[in-house]
Amino acid sequence: MRTHRIGFASLMFVAAIWALGSVAATTSPRFYTDDPIAREPGSQDASGAARSDMADLYEMVINLLDHPGYKPSGLRARNLNTIDEVPDSGWFTNRIGVTPLTIDEIVRGPNVGAPPDPSKWIVFRQKSSGAHPGVTAKDANGETWFLEFDPNYYPEAATGAVIMATKFFWALGYNQVETFITSFDPRRVEFDPAATLRRPNGKRTRFTKSDLDELLEPVARSADGTYRVVAGRLLPGKILGNFRFEGTRPDDPNDLVPHEYRRELRALRVFGAWTNLTDLKSGNTLDTLVTENGRTIVKHWLQDVGSTFGMNNDLHEWDLGWEHFYQTDTTLKRALSFGFALSPWQTVHYVKGPSIGKFEGDRFDPRTWRPQTPTTAYMELRDDDAFWAAQRVAAFTGEMIRAIVQTGELSDPAAATALADIMIKRRDTIVQTYMTAVNPIVAPRLQEDDRLCFDNAAVKADVAHAPEAYQASWSEFDNATGVTRLFAETRSGTTTIDAPAGLPKSVGSYVEVDIAAEAKDHPAWRRPVRVYFRREVGRWKLVGLERMPDAAEQNQKG
C-alpha cells in the first residue's frame, strides 16, 4: 500500500519511518497517476478481528485525570489524501459540502429499509446503559430493534434528539444507525422466554411484565396508554465492541493511522460543539465486521448521538457543554469564592419547554465548548482540521436545518422553530470562528487560458471582507526529486490571477503555486496555501494542496 497518499508520511510517528523519511522523499515520486485518491485503501482481510470493549468508568477516569496534562502533538492529520481531504473509508463518507444533497436525501439520512411494525413487540433484553430507559425487542416482522423512551420531564425531546442528530451526522459523513420514531403499546408486548434481568443479589431471573411496568414508570406516556419510542435497527455484521479515540485497533490490518490523527475524529470537536454532543466517548461508538465488495473489513459507527441539543442534561444539570465533568480550575474557583464566582452556564438564558433541552446559541463559543470528558482526538484538533469541519457546517442551509428538525416530530411548533434557530446561530458562530483562522483559499483551478482561479471560503460564507490582494509564487516542481525552481510571482485584487509566461506544457510536468492573501484583519491569511498541478492532455489537474504542513514537511521543501 502506498501510504504516502493518505497524508504525507502517514506513519511518520513510527521511529523507523522517521529515519527513512528523507530518503523516501528523494527516491520515490511525490504524486502518483491516481492522486488524489477518493477512497482510503482497505485491501487487507480483517476477519481475524475479535470483540474488545472499553469500560465507561475506565475511559472517564483516563480522560479526566490523565488528559488534563496532555500536550497536543500539533501534527497534521495523517489520513488525508494529497489535496488535504479525507478520503472515504470504513470510518467516513464524504457527503455534504462535497456531494450535492437534496432536502429529501438529508431528511431520509441513513434510513434505507422499512420502519418497524409496532403491532407487536417481543421484548428480550433491557437497556443496560445510557441516561434514558430502553429495551431490545423484535417487531411484528421479526426484526431486532433497540428502543429508547422519553423521560416524563422531557416528552418527545430525547427521542426527537436521536432522530435529528442521526440526520445531521449522516450528512456530515459518519456511519449512522437506521432510526425511526414509532410507538410502543404495553398491551401488545410479549416476552422472550430467554429474557432475563440481573437482580441486585447478582442472580438472573425472568424478565416479566412487572419489570416492564417498573421500567415504564418514569417514562413519558401518551394519553392513549402508548409510548413514543425511537427505534434503532440492529447493525449488520459481527459486533466487535467500541472503537477508541486514540491508537489503532491491533487486530485490524487496515487500521494504520492512530485515531487521534484521523481528521474526521478530530472534527467531532467542531461537529459536537455545533450539536452539543456532550457524551463523546467510546461507549457510544461501535465497530462491526462486514463484507463489502468481496472483502471483510471493520466498519466504524457513531451509534449513539442522542446526547445532543441539551438532551444529555438531566432535569437539573446545567453545565454540560460548558465544563467537563471535573475541571480543577473552575471547581477551585467556586470553592474559594464560596459559590459567588459564577460560571457562564449559571447566567445563560435557555429556551424553556418540555420538548427542548438546555440548548442556546447566543453565548455559544466553539473554542470553549466542552463535552463531559475530553478525548485524545478532541485535543489534537488543529485549525486546518477545524476549517475543514467548518466548511461542512457552512454547507447546511437554513432550509436543510429546519427540515431536519421537523423529522424530530415535535408537537410544539415553537420548540421546533427555537431549536432550528439555535442550530443556525451556532452554525454561523462556527463558520465565523474557524473559517477566518487560516488562509481560506479553496478549490484552486488552473484553466486552459492560463488563469489561476480559486475561491475564498470565508468571503463566500460572508464572514470576512475580501482581502486587499492575493499573491501567487510560481515554481516548477520535479515530481521525482521534490526539487522546485521559483520562476515568477504575480498579484491580483480578485480570485483570478493570470499565470506568468513560461508555464511548462509537456504532459506530466508539474507546477507548484503558493497562494497568499493580504488582509489586515486576518494575518493568518498571509501563510500561503501551496497547490500542485499536473499537466495532462488538454488540461491541468489539481493533485496537491497543503494548508498547514508540518514543520518537517515544510523543511523538506526548503
CA dist 364 and 422 (Å) reads 10
Per DSSP, the three-state class of 469 is: strand
Lowest mean pLDDT among 148-162, 260-274, 377-391: 148-162
In this prediction, residue 41 carries a pLDDT of: 87
Closest to 514 measured CA to CA, from 491, 483, 540, 535:
491
- Taking all residues of the chain, what is their mean pLDDT, rounded to a whole number? 89
Lowest mean pLDDT among 66-70, 179-183, 436-440, 553-557: 553-557
CB–CB of 271/47 below 8 Å? no
In this prediction, residue 344 carries a pLDDT of: 78
CB–CB of 273/430 below 8 Å? yes
Residue ranges and CATH numbers for the domains of the chain are: 441-556 (2.60.40)
* Phi and psi torsions of 123, nearest 5°: -85, 130
Per DSSP, the three-state class of 60 is: helix
In this prediction, residue 176 carries a pLDDT of: 98
Higher pLDDT, 346 or 159: 159
Grade residue 232 by pLDDT with cuts at 50, 70 and 90.
very high
pTM over 0.85: yes
Closest to 208 measured CA to CA, from 221, 220, 193, 218:
193
CA dist 437 and 74 (Å) reads 16
Would you list the DSSP string of 386-446? HHHHHHHHHT--HHHHHHHHHTT--S-HHHHHHHHHHHHHHHHHHHHHHHTSS--EEEEEE
- In angstroms, what CA-CA distances link 385 with 253, 321, 432? 26, 21, 15
> Is the per-residue pLDDT at 557 higher than 60?
no
What is the per-residue pLDDT across 251-281, written as a single tens digit (0 to 9) for each? 999 999 999 999 999 999 999 999 999 988 8
> Is the per-residue pLDDT at 226 higher than 50?
yes
Angle at 130 between CA 127 and CA 131, to 5 degrees: 115
Enumerate helices (H) and strands (E) in the chain, giving the number of each: 14, 19
Would you list the DSSP string of 257-322? S-GGG-HHHHTHHHHHHHHT----SGGGEEEEEEEETTEEEEEEEE----S-TTTTS-TT---BBT
CA dist 248 and 158 (Å) reads 33
Lowest mean pLDDT among 24-38, 177-191, 333-347, 431-445: 333-347
The owner of cell 424478565 is 207
In this prediction, residue 558 carries a pLDDT of: 45
CB–CB of 311/154 below 8 Å? yes
> Is the per-residue pLDDT at 113 higher than 90?
yes
What is the per-residue pLDDT across 290-300, written as a single tens digit (0 to 9) for each? 998 889 999 99
Angle at 189 between CA 195 and CA 160, to 5 degrees: 100
* Percent above pLDDT 90 for the chain: 70
Full strand arrangement of the beta sheet holding 484-492: 484-492, 469-477, 510-518, 529-536, 539-546
What is the per-residue pLDDT across 56-99, written as a single tens digit (0 to 9) for each? 666 766 666 666 678 899 999 999 999 999 999 999 999 999 99
Which H/E stretch holds residue 123? strand 121-126
> Is the per-residue pLDDT at 317 higher than 60?
yes
DSSP structure class, residue 499: P
